[in-house]
Chains A and B, each alone.
Chain A
Amino acid sequence: MNALLGFAVDFALFCFVLAMLFALLRLLRGPAAQDRVLALDTLYMNGMLLLIVLGIRSVSSIYFDVALLIAMFGFVGTVALAKFLLRGEVIEP
């Protein structure tokens, strides 16, 4: 029973690391700037999910706060980068 949950947690960790690796390759390769921003968005989202699965693995609530912070700051960063690509300026006067 608990071996089943342990196997599922390990499989999910492997899959999220693989997804982060794919996103990192697209981030390094991406032909246009918007591809890199999209790859960064995918990267931080997969990292957040990885931290939540780590929180399941080691029963601790620290990882939850870290995941919440990563979600909030990642959203702010992606919106700022998209606004910069759209208007050439992040905070307009």
Chain B
Amino acid sequence: MSSVPLWAAVPASILLLAAGLLAAIGSFGLLRLPDFFARMHAPTMGTTLGAGCVLIASMLVSSALASRPIAHELVITLFVVMTAPVTAMLLVRAAMYRRDRQKHNGGAKSTD
């Protein structure tokens, strides 16, 4: 980190600050929001925009240190962008199924 030039250090710092704030706020929403479907949307802020910011910052710093473009992190970006909607959709479908089944059973309290 000793010889990162200024054109890479300043945008990387801004992106890292933004990503940290986004991840912390998203997880705080996961902890504080009252309902599962409200809690579902809060951490996606940290896992999509926060992950994008961190990966762009990592690309900037490693490219500046190697003085050639390095884009390894695009693999993780692509993977996260592809898998985040799949996970969210499966979780929401499971939650809706469990809620409807509980309602159909006459409001019996589930133990989990």
Chain A residues proximal to chain B, CB less than 8 Å: 1-2, 4-9, 11-16, 18-20, 22-23, 25-26, 32-35, 37-39, 41-42, 45-46, 48-49, 52-53, 55-57, 59, 61, 64, 67-68, 71-72, 75, 78-79, 82-83, 85-86
B28 nearest CB neighbor, chain A only = A22
Inter-chain contact A11/B79, CB cutoff 8 Å: no
Main secondary structure of the interface of A (DSSP, over half): helix
Contact A4 B13 (CB under 8 A): yes
Question: In the complex the two chains form, is B4's CB within 8 Å of A79's CB?
Answer: no
Q: Which interface class (under 10, 10 to 19, 20 to 34, 35 or more) fits B? A: 35 or more
Whether A34 lies near B27 (C-beta < 8 A) is no
Q: Which of A7, A42, A56 contacts B30 (CB 8 A)?
A: A42
- Nearest residue (CB) in A for B91 is A82
Residue of B nearest to A23 (CB): B27
Mark interface residues in B2-19 (1 if CB within 8 Å of A CB, else 0): 111010011011101101
Report whether A52 and B17 are in contact in the complex, using a CB–CB cutoff of 8 Å: no
A-B contact pairs, 14 of them (CB 8 A): A1-B6, A4-B10, A5-B12, A19-B23, A22-B30, A23-B43, A33-B112, A34-B36, A34-B91, A46-B27, A48-B76, A57-B1, A78-B87, A82-B90
